[in-house]
Amino acid sequence: MVPHDVEGLIKMHGGKRAFVNRLQEVFDDGHYDPTNEPNIGYPYLFSRVRGEEWRTQEQTLMLLEEHFKNSPDGLPGNDDTGTMSTWAVFSMMGFYPDDATDPSYTFTTPVFDQITLELDKQFHSTDHLKIRTVRPNPNAIYIDRIEVDGKRWKGFRISHDELMKANEILFYLKEKR
């Protein structure tokens, strides 16, 4: 896992198609281990290949359902300084900071219909960030489009500065990818 050089990792695997196939094998063959913290960024790597973002959305939802529960043993493995619970919270909100060398986030399908994050005006240009999800039915798990403050968002990444200036992120979901 080299989150600081995903492009190099893709090249090392022989290109985008080979990279996606190899990454999908990790999940399909049961090699993904959420208790091994370097693995937790894997589902977000699909979004680095245009047209494969749906795999990130599908995998994060499946991993949340399979490995994170509201019970005393509800986290996989050891929650070292909150790593596993932080992954779950970010993933449930619909975005995740998948590269510590890049102050950006990758979007995924939110679990919540609506949440509001209260922000400190001393450090942010707004005092809240509202995240809403338009889900026409329970099977709608794929992102159709994203709007940030009423404007259609291009791509599946947002910088920290853009996120902190936003008042509302609206995810429109669809059933089929």
Neighbours of 149 (CB within 10 A): 13
Give the separation between CA 101 and CA 21, rounded to whole angstroms: 25
Q: Distance (Å, rounded) from C-alpha 131 to C-alpha 101?
A: 25
For residue 177, count other CB atoms closer than 10 A to its CB: 14
**CB neighbourhood size of 48 (10 A):** 23
pLDDT digit string (tens) for 134-154?
999 999 999 999 999 999 999
User: What's the sign of the alpha-carbon dihedral 163, 75, 63, 23?
Assistant: positive
- CATH classification of the domain holding 139: 3.30.2080.10
- The pLDDT mean for the chain works out to 94
Q: How many domains does the chain have?
A: 1
Over residues 30-40, mean pLDDT: 88
Q: What is the pLDDT of residue 106?
A: 97
- Scan for tokens 């947002």, then name that residue: 158
- 42-86 per-position pLDDT tens digit: 999 999 999 999 999 999 999 999 999 988 888 888 887 888 999
Distance, CA of 17 to CA of 19 (rounded, Å): 5
Percent of the chain exceeding pLDDT 70 equals: 100
Phi, psi of 91 (to 5 degrees): -60, -40
Residue 43 has a pLDDT of: 97
Higher pLDDT, 98 or 124: 98
Q: In the structure, what pLDDT confidence band is assigned to residue 163 with cuts at 50, 70 and 90?
A: very high
Domain region containing 29: 3-174
Cα distance between residue 77 and residue 73, in whole Å: 9
